[in-house]
Structure 1
């Protein structure tokens, strides 16, 4: 009986821990968003060597009353694998627990730097923005109504329609999609660019502002590339010798080409 009670207690604790791990998982990605908005990766990168907590808080544009909380923020981010700590020889440091330890970027944090050519910073900030996060709060409502998506439930219209009416959102969203596409197409062209060999023409459906189309057009100058997206997305964009931008609705018609490329973002 004692063994059964012990096993029951163990199962209850494991179940509680499992639930808690999901309840509090938001802390990780919201802490990361906070670090990006405070430019912590860029500050540490510019420092050029392991950065003490005392040096980091002095470099941040925050209230001095908040200095003590930076340690806890960095502790979450180290645990999540975005920063690493390294022992250094120093007599500086105002925080006993951090004395002699400096922060460095982990490999993944390189992709969060503002100046990195393949930075995912815009993508992260867009996906964690309230305009895209709030629909998740309305999932249960969506299951009970006739809206097409939870985004409709929250905002009353589709994301692309809303972006078409709000230039700031349009730019914000396009920058995010471009940052993700830039990394993906660089890997595709390097690892399996042969799939584009011999194509006379290709249309990138939902191509956004042309990040993928531009890369393909540059890598294969004999291939005619069409970046096809909604009019408000491609409006004002200039093409090149083998790249053109076409506005339209892919649910109505798609420009003719030898191949159709459709990259799914979500």
Structure 2
């Protein structure tokens, strides 16, 4: 008598294997970004065939078979749209998602650098040690590279550039949020300090839009070393745990999620000292955890939370209530939360 074999239900198996194969989606996306395929399609001005894409690649013998399979996967994920021509040839077109990774322009910041940063092999390596973090309580990044992420970036010029290029693209996007939600926020402001401002993109965008403002981009030496010169922006080297330059407004963009609660309070207290006693405020950009959230953006925030654990150990994405607690401890009794349907969310906190 044969023994009955119980095969897993397709839905259960797909639920299991979808995240297991998630790295394929990530690498296929990185592939199309590195090859500039969205820009090839965009420059063509209409749906384009695989052969037409291949002729635009910087290659003497492009691999049509591999390219076809990459494009098929990316089309299934909604990155590209695909249709059949009259000649029964597959044609590819842009979607709203792939338009986000077109080359940067003054009006449309590109997400391409953040895709390359998130999928850099050296920055991905710590994620292989998440189990170590669970069992030993250590920092996955340090297990992978024998030093902290900040020490690593200070030593590795190539990774440092990839990392801060990724942050720079999100800085442009963050400023567009400011410009939309805060139409008059800088009208009476004379000086702005961007703490951990990377290569100065946010400070540059603020000064371009408000030439009367003097902006300080404040970061560590290895970051300022690769920062371009911008009119109206002063690059200042320093340590936010020791002191922060004075300004009417201090900006913290994706800074607090890198640190544990105690370190966040130290940073915020130094921000409190840096702004005017009566009128000072800080503007915080963070991906806030919505405890009841079940949408695709919420999935990204929870994934980012794991990334913070892997990269920094003590960092995490926080709820609005958790941010409020940190602000009150640090001397910011009043705040205004501006809900943003995308990423990030904005918190404006005041000293009075």
TM-score (normalizing by structure 2): 0.64
The equivalent position to 1:263 in structure 2, one of 239, 253, 278, is 253
- Aligned equivalents of 1:60, 1:218: Cα separation in 2: 35
In structure 2, distance between residues paired with 1:100 and 1:198: 58
Moved more, 159-168 or 65-74: 65-74
Counterparts of 1:61 and 1:75, CA distance in 2: 21
Deviations 1:50-74 (A, max 9, x none): 1112333344456858322322211
Question: Which stretch has the larger CA shift, 52-61 or 156-165?
Answer: 52-61
1:5 corresponds in structure 2 to none
Q: For structure 1, which runs of at least 5 residues remain unmatched after alignment? A: 1-8, 92-98
Cα separation, 1, equivalents of 2:221 and 2:164 = 13
Q: Select 2:83's aligned residue among 75, 83, 86.
A: 86
> 2:116 touches 2:162 (CA, 8 Å); kept in 1?
no
Structure 2 unaligned segments of length 5 or more: list them. Answer: 1-5, 256-303, 305-352
Give yes or no for contact 1:110–1:116 (8 Å, CA) kept in 2: no
Mapping 1:138-153, distance limit 5 Å: 138-145=129-136, 147=138, 149-153=139-143
Larger-gyration structure (1/2): 1
Rounded Cα–Cα distance in structure 2 between residues aligned with 1:111 and 1:68: 26
* Gap change, CA 1:249 and 1:201, over 3 Å in 2: same
1:105 matches 2:94 = yes
Q: Measure, in 1, the Cα distance between the counterparts of 2:103 and 2:84.
A: 27
What is residue 146 of structure 2 aligned with on the other side? Answer: 156
Report SS of the residue matched to 2:126. helix
SS in 2 for 1:225: strand
* Matching residue of 1:135: 126
TM-score (structure 1 length as normaliser): 0.82
CA distance 1:22–1:171, shift in 2 (3 Å)? closer
Is the contact made by 1:229 and 1:247 (CA closer than 8 Å) also made in structure 2?
yes
Inter-partner Cα distance in structure 2 for 1:133 and 1:17:
24
- Residue 87 of structure 1 and its aligned partner are, at CA, apart by 4.2
2:328 is aligned to none
> How far does residue 194 in structure 1 lie from its aligned partner after superposition?
2.4
Partners of 1:189 and 1:65 lie apart in 2 by 43
Alignment partner of 1:40 is 2:69: no
- The structure-2 alpha-carbon separation of the partners of 1:62 and 1:250, relative to structure 1 and needing over 3 Å to count, comes to same
In 2, Cα distance between the equivalents of 1:187 and 1:139?
33
Higher mean Cα deviation, 191-200 or 202-211? Answer: 191-200
Q: What is the DSSP-based 3-state SS (H/G/I as helix, E as strand, rest coil) of the residue aligned with 1:160?
A: helix
Distance 1:115 1:238 in 2: 19
> In the TM superposition, what is the alpha-carbon distance from 1:183 to its structure 2 partner?
1.9
The answer for the alignment partner of 1:231 in structure 2 is: 221
Q: Aligned equivalents of 2:34 and 2:212: distance in 1? A: 42
